[in-house]
Structure 1
């Protein structure tokens, strides 16, 4: 009996040890990306003499392969390997033989399981995105489709995963192979067929648009993350946290997840969760049959703790903090943790109202958490034209959008497929208008099934993001009825109709697209015209109606000279192409970067003429680029301010085409490809301020814009008018006390700028070219907002007198210098010591050692003007790595040579 007792104790001890061992099994995610010590090989299918089973055998290898880039594209791999000249520069990408890339390619890599792997765990092989078709193999076994099928996975946002537990080598080498087949359409640049039918769903800009070139291979590749996951037999799939905001005091949480049981026996599964902040805990059991999938749900009826009291709400930028919650889910079977997931979500409520304008046409208004949100933002076509944007670089782009006071980004035709984009939009309060993959004349696709499969996966993948504000079926058209109905049903079923599905990007409550050529501010204040003027019936446009909710409007946008030098060869800098060449020439390097025929919507002829006539004919590219920045400021600011002027009185928001630069070009951007902020950036940032004061170039009215959720009282609005000599003219000044309700506009006064009062350029008279400075102060005299304009009262838009301003004596003084582990901050005071105007002051930072530009930076202001004796404080932020060598601070006054003013160390 004692012997039996000892045996029982040994068995019990073994069971306890096994249980402890099992409980310590941690779910792991192991990256197979090429930047994580996994070496991918790429080779064309036509040059490989063996099949996928053999290619995916451990120890096999390609001869003369190209090192693969994952995530990335085939073409990018060849660029990185030096087989293609820098495609950013000159017309290099147009010289590439596209037939070398417009064909199938093999990817191959080898990996080992982590040392922590234990017998009995499941091994999953994941690929987040593959474009355009993919077939998968591992350790000599075909994972996808059937033994002889091809193009098994079809799309570009369809996640794939395979349970490779039964074929994986637990201690030795494993091999994976993926055959990527390119899209069927546009096999050559000059092919006449479109790219929207057979190719979709894909990156629709890959075959070229008026802002990025045709990319050989059309972005075929393993374009998303590749990784392994180690779990138990039971896993959660697409867990979903949905919030319902009942009031500001109560929110309800609903959670659900598919539970997959891969075991050969039924499992009793426990799913437990914790939500923070709040330490909300819950747990529930479900029985899942063998080799099947069940769904588990949690709601307030069963778990009262899912009623959140006084929730911390997620707000768009400018309206409040984008508060986020984290839900940690644990899935256990047989008292062993089998899978864990962490979900970031936000508690918010989207609503949409259609308010009739003066002509009785509906204008779509956005509401978040019960409050009207005035939309200010930009369109993204691509994150980067070769899909080279990843990780923290998305934070850079989104921070720049936040800095411009934007609150929404539209992903044109759904060309963004990286999770990091949405994660940073969540973090910084940027709403996302999410398109599907249809555009203009192409409202049909070759395979409805492929399109729908990608759409379902897209919604499931993105629905936890509070930043998703709208699902949109097609760009400037409507999906064919069958697709439209399916997309609407997908959003209803998979996203609970919490966010609108809208068929078209520019109609049905929206006011159209365009126009896209540069127009002076007065034009935008006087007319809202756009492309729906040709609709039947025509959309009604006018001075006080038709602005509505505009999803596209844009302009050509010259970058700074320092950027142009990086992609235009020096022997092509000057002169600029003739008007005839801009209209008709195909092969100029300027046209290849979209200042010419390919970007005719931007009207480069008019843009060039505007710079020349308004600011004077230039003698060099550097001078032209400088003058262009002030056109950029004026036009971009004028567009947003014209919409501001009608806020909630017809106008509901403006999304420019485009805010993000995917390729070195001269169109559709705020910051450029190298993150240098153009004048358009500063025009947008100023006009989109939550509290703003502005001048109407058409009727001289000065209005205060309050797009915040708070009433503002006891404000003082002032306007000071300066002549060309920098003298303030009291007879033209205006002042008013203003109280302004939340989310409202208020006219303060109208400037008296009667042309008859304009005299010569004498010291005491209002000169033809003069300046308007607006300020809005609180009761303590603190400046809440300011604005600055240049105006010619006799010859409209003639600013050539700026070229005759004398050089000003300027100083820069360090007010604060702060270095942190990850960033640095510099505050400088700029003073104009002269008796003349210091117009157009631009600050730049360069590396103190290498003299290379320090970009990107977040700067409080730039391209600013200082009147005689005036001072301005400017803050500049950059990463610690950028500032490691210290920085030189350069200052350039309009029309004069740039000067180094400070040399700063951050150590």
Structure 2
């Protein structure tokens, strides 16, 4: 029978759970490992401290078998060149090849009235657990996404010397990586991620990410263990950021567990914003229960808002259970007070999202996973989410072929104001939406994947408990491009989510008519790949588009990180195929740029190709978001880029590469997504204003200037303008004037927007082709030499001031990089408030750059551009 989940209080919840109390610690070092083939002893024997593991290999935990092999030098880097093809695939060599024992010694003694718990936050795919000669899990523990907690108090050694031994078995169905989306599809028979059998953006992961892939934590409590606290906030009415707020309502529920043989009486308390809410609890022996505290109000709350709309305020809070005034267990929380609402927009025929009563035009990115081999770190999560914030996006969708993202991911989203759509683990490709000759089973069979529906439902319920408290989590989604099987859908939609959350919109699948009316038919998403700029402005697509995207090759520096020297080439496509003549480019899933680079001149080599690709990258993503924004609330309520990042070294769909080096896609998207923005439709010649904010903007001065290829200014006009809140407005047309002046060799267009204090609120810079569509003027643009100086404003934070002398022409499309003096390599990640920028003659531009994780002392900044030779500025 499926477990029935009941909740005493069903309300809106917005917190995040930082982890465990001070007595908790991770078992993340000192692990040893061997493959099952090299071990003849039993788990009982291995978990005795007298058994020698001196000759065992070092293991990476958290981590996968492949990660351990890589760190031990047993395999080449699978992300470089075609190394991945040299690693044995589990489908060919069998599951035993990647079945491994993991052993860990640790010290822990049980004190009086203390309970010790062993927590696994994720294993793949099934395990048996032994501690000090005894088996810990009496029931089967399987499923990649299921957390488990074991009371190990009675297993611990009296002398405090303990050994944990865990054998990890791969999934029973690993899938044939035959080149299909998810290979032959059978990877979906388990409750795990699907991309590991290969997709159109990645090669197969050879061990299918088998291992103890997430944290292992020792937790210490008193007689009562506090679990899954659930803080809830209600924000009524229509609020404005920065203003004095009406009260918000708060409530809390928590699970409490008594593993002892005696009845316990104690107090559950919740502290936040100077308030302490308590309730007396009586808990029977060997029992657990859900406790609800009374709802209360917080006066003048500081609200949490999505990025671009307001501050991401978070409250420190604490939940604890006390027995006779002694703390038994305590959880530290961050609470974000906000409320998500949705309604159907009958004009666009799509859902519209509101936060705290205000409409949010969704500008999102599709996210796969941070690292394809599950090498997750808090620092990498922080950097990747910061990049999304810096692109002026406000939402990330977690694609259904991956996983329920980690708490550290959501902490970063809370911090940077990213709303999140969390897909559950289905895909139309593997789960039977389409006829597919590469799939082993027919559609009817695949439609019922996974084999174990109860495990999927249990894992879904656990994921909801783990993630429901984050203010950034806005939407649950049943699957990627397909609903789950009917019984799973019913369990999630009608039982789990109402009872364990009840606060968020649930979409049955990612391109559902419930989300966006698919008036064109088809899949309800796209287009993908290189597009004519006019497509984004003039061709209407789905009103809330879950996937729309383009290209994304990095620059030369990025490409050289994972391409062997013999593959430094210009990719040439085989006619009528998606493959190119160079096998490494094909292996890394290159998507062709068509003839889009020819307008800048046929690329002569890889350096030239990568440089010109950045011009296309910038224009593609700026136009994409500007085109959607120009039809805000008329055609669209939102769009989500497919996709903004890659978890390995792919050659498509990314704003920054696997190594966290941004390319021009990021800065084009950043420009096109600005909350208050002036923009130019290159097809019609119309100039628009867009205002994503909640307040009207008055007395704005719009300035328009043109520059020829010699840098001569040709003033057009400047006009006063205003724009209402959350709206788009056409201001004027420049088509005749620009068509005439650009006809011979093209020109530059500079738009700027100022307020009453003459402060620049927005700038936008376009390069216009000649009458043939060629950038002939750019191809003959004179060289410029700029002047630059740098100021250190904080640790690892610098302000670069660049001046283009008046006698020059435009200094066009410059890239700056923070580098190590000794190696010349870029410092990654580095965050730039602008890059791939142009400077008109006589102008100065200031750019702030920051590398918060940098440990290199001797730094330099390089500047190089289309018509500016590389120059170095020392950082003192």
Fold agreement, TM-score > 0.5: yes
User: 1 CA distance for matches of 2:823 and 2:740?
Assistant: 53
Give the number of the structure whose alpha-carbon radius of gyration is greater.
1
1:677 paired to 2:677? no
The partner residue of 1:42 within 17, 33, 41 is 33
1:481 paired to 2:486? yes
Contact 1:56 1:108 in 2 (8 A): no
1:594 paired to 2:589? yes
- Does the residue aligned with 1:552 lie in a helix, a strand or coil? strand
User: 1 CA distance for matches of 2:652 and 2:282?
Assistant: 57
Contact 1:112 1:171 in 2 (8 A): no
Contact 1:832 1:838 in 2 (8 A): no
Contact 2:64 2:213 in 1 (8 A): yes
- Does the residue aligned with 1:432 lie in a helix, a strand or coil? strand
1:709 paired to 2:694? yes
Q: Deviation of residue 352 (structure 1)?
A: 0.8
Contact 1:206 1:219 in 2 (8 A): yes
CA change 1:195–1:586 in 2 (3 A) is farther
Please, which moves more after superposition, 854-863 or 411-420?
A: 411-420
The equivalent of 1:22 in structure 2 is none
Q: Deviation of residue 713 (structure 1)?
A: 0.9
Greater relative contact order, per chain length (Cα 8 Å cut-off, separation 6+):
2
- Does the residue aligned with 1:610 lie in a helix, a strand or coil? coil
The equivalent of 2:839 in structure 1 is 866
The equivalent of 1:81 in structure 2 is 72
The partner residue of 1:519 within 511, 516, 531 is 531
The equivalent of 2:377 in structure 1 is 390
The equivalent of 2:412 in structure 1 is 424
1:819 paired to 2:802? no
1:250 paired to 2:247? yes
Alignment of 1:326-405 (within 5 A): 326-357=316-347, 362-405=349-392
User: 2 CA distance for matches of 1:848 and 1:449?
Assistant: 57
Alignment of 1:554-703 (within 5 A): 554-580=549-575, 583-584=578-579, 588-595=583-590, 602=591, 604=592, 607-611=593-597, 613-703=598-688
Q: Deviation of residue 47 (structure 1)?
A: 2.9
CA change 1:577–1:747 in 2 (3 A) is closer
Contact 1:27 1:339 in 2 (8 A): no
1:829 paired to 2:824? no
Gaps of 5+ in 1: 1-25, 147-151, 301-305, 529-545, 596-601, 760-765
1:263 paired to 2:260? yes
The partner residue of 1:318 within 296, 301, 308 is 308
User: 2 CA distance for matches of 1:55 and 1:594?
Assistant: 44
Q: Deviation of residue 587 (structure 1)?
A: 8.2
Q: Deviation of residue 334 (structure 1)?
A: 4.2
User: 2 CA distance for matches of 1:630 and 1:898?
Assistant: 18
Please, which moves more after superposition, 330-339 or 711-720?
A: 330-339
Contact 2:687 2:734 in 1 (8 A): yes
Contact 1:808 1:833 in 2 (8 A): no
User: 1 CA distance for matches of 2:290 and 2:840?
Assistant: 67
Q: Deviation of residue 415 (structure 1)?
A: 2.4
CA change 1:435–1:591 in 2 (3 A) is same
CA change 1:458–1:502 in 2 (3 A) is same
User: 2 CA distance for matches of 1:454 and 1:586?
Assistant: 44
The equivalent of 1:439 in structure 2 is 427
Deviations 1:209-248 (A, max 9, x none): 1222201111111111101011111111111101111344
The equivalent of 1:10 in structure 2 is none
Deviations 1:226-284 (A, max 9, x none): 01011111111111101111344121111111110111011112112211xx2111221
The partner residue of 2:721 within 722, 738, 741 is 738
Please, which moves more after superposition, 213-222 or 326-335?
A: 326-335
Q: How many residues align?
A: 819
Deviations 1:76-129 (A, max 9, x none): 1001100001112110011111135843523333333357x5233111111101
1:899 paired to 2:871? yes
The partner residue of 1:219 within 202, 209, 232 is 209
Deviations 1:150-196 (A, max 9, x none): xx222222111111111101433211122212123345433876346
1:890 paired to 2:862? yes
User: 1 CA distance for matches of 2:865 and 2:805?
Assistant: 11
- Does the residue aligned with 2:713 lie in a helix, a strand or coil? coil
Contact 1:755 1:793 in 2 (8 A): no
The equivalent of 1:171 in structure 2 is 159
CA change 1:580–1:521 in 2 (3 A) is closer
The equivalent of 1:773 in structure 2 is 750
User: 2 CA distance for matches of 1:68 and 1:771?
Assistant: 57
User: 1 CA distance for matches of 2:545 and 2:301?
Assistant: 32
Deviations 1:812-843 (A, max 9, x none): 123x32233xx423332333443322111111
Contact 2:687 2:732 in 1 (8 A): yes
User: 2 CA distance for matches of 1:848 and 1:477?
Assistant: 51
The equivalent of 1:119 in structure 2 is 112
CA change 1:875–1:726 in 2 (3 A) is same
Q: Deviation of residue 870 (structure 1)?
A: 2.1
CA change 1:791–1:64 in 2 (3 A) is same
The equivalent of 2:768 in structure 1 is 791
User: 1 CA distance for matches of 2:693 and 2:218?
Assistant: 45
User: 1 CA distance for matches of 2:738 and 2:616?
Assistant: 23
Contact 1:383 1:389 in 2 (8 A): yes
Gaps of 5+ in 2: 1-20, 238-244, 432-446, 519-523
Contact 2:175 2:197 in 1 (8 A): no
Contact 1:491 1:501 in 2 (8 A): no
CA change 1:106–1:312 in 2 (3 A) is same
Contact 2:265 2:323 in 1 (8 A): yes
User: 1 CA distance for matches of 2:363 and 2:548?
Assistant: 12
Q: Deviation of residue 702 (structure 1)?
A: 0.8
The partner residue of 2:457 within 442, 452, 465 is 452
Contact 1:157 1:417 in 2 (8 A): no
Q: Deviation of residue 711 (structure 1)?
A: 1.8
CA change 1:548–1:578 in 2 (3 A) is closer
User: 2 CA distance for matches of 1:619 and 1:432?
Assistant: 42
- Does the residue aligned with 1:382 lie in a helix, a strand or coil? coil
User: 1 CA distance for matches of 2:111 and 2:665?
Assistant: 57
CA change 1:571–1:837 in 2 (3 A) is same
Alignment RMSD (CA, Å) = 2.1
- Does the residue aligned with 2:466 lie in a helix, a strand or coil? helix
- Does the residue aligned with 2:548 lie in a helix, a strand or coil? coil
1:550 paired to 2:545? yes
Contact 2:785 2:869 in 1 (8 A): no
The equivalent of 1:158 in structure 2 is 146
TM-score (norm: length of structure 2): 0.90
Q: Deviation of residue 575 (structure 1)?
A: 4.2
Contact 1:770 1:791 in 2 (8 A): yes
